[in-house]
Chains A and B, each alone.
Chain A
Amino acid sequence: QTVVTQEPSLSVSPGGTVTLTCGLNSGSVSTNSYPSWYQQTPGQAPRTLIYTTNIRSSGVPDRFSGSILGNKAALTITGAQADDESDYYCVLYMGSGVRVFGGGTKLTVL
Chain B
Amino acid sequence: EVQLLESGGGLVQPGGSLRLSCAASGFTFSTYAMSWVRQAPGKGLEWVSAISGTGGSTFYADSVKGRFIVSRDNSKSTLYLQVNSLRDEDTAIYYCAKGGGYDPFDCWGQGTLVTVSS
Q: A interface vs B, CB < 8 Å? A: 34, 36, 38, 40, 45-48, 51-52, 57, 87, 89, 91, 93, 96-104
Closest 9 pairs between A and B when the two form their complex, measured CB to CB: A97-B59, A51-B104, A104-B44, A45-B108, A36-B104, A99-B47, A101-B45, A97-B101, A103-B44
Sampled A-B contacts (11; CB under 8 Å): A45-B109, A46-B108, A48-B106, A51-B104, A51-B106, A89-B44, A89-B45, A91-B105, A97-B57, A99-B50, A104-B44
| Interface: B11 (CB within 8 A) | no
Residues of chain B in range 2-57 having any CB-CB distance to chain A below 8 Å: 35, 37, 44-47, 50, 57
Cβ of B70 to closest chain A Cβ, rounded Å: 11
Interface size of B by Cβ–Cβ distance < 8 Å? 23
Task: Tell me the total A-B contact number using a CB cutoff of 8 A.
Answer: 60
Cβ of B113 to closest chain A Cβ, rounded Å: 12
| Interface: B95 (CB within 8 A) | yes
A48 and B107 contact, CB distance less than 8 A: yes
Interfacial chain B residues near A96, Cβ < 8 Å? 59
Interfacial chain A residues near B104, Cβ < 8 Å? 34, 36, 48, 51-52
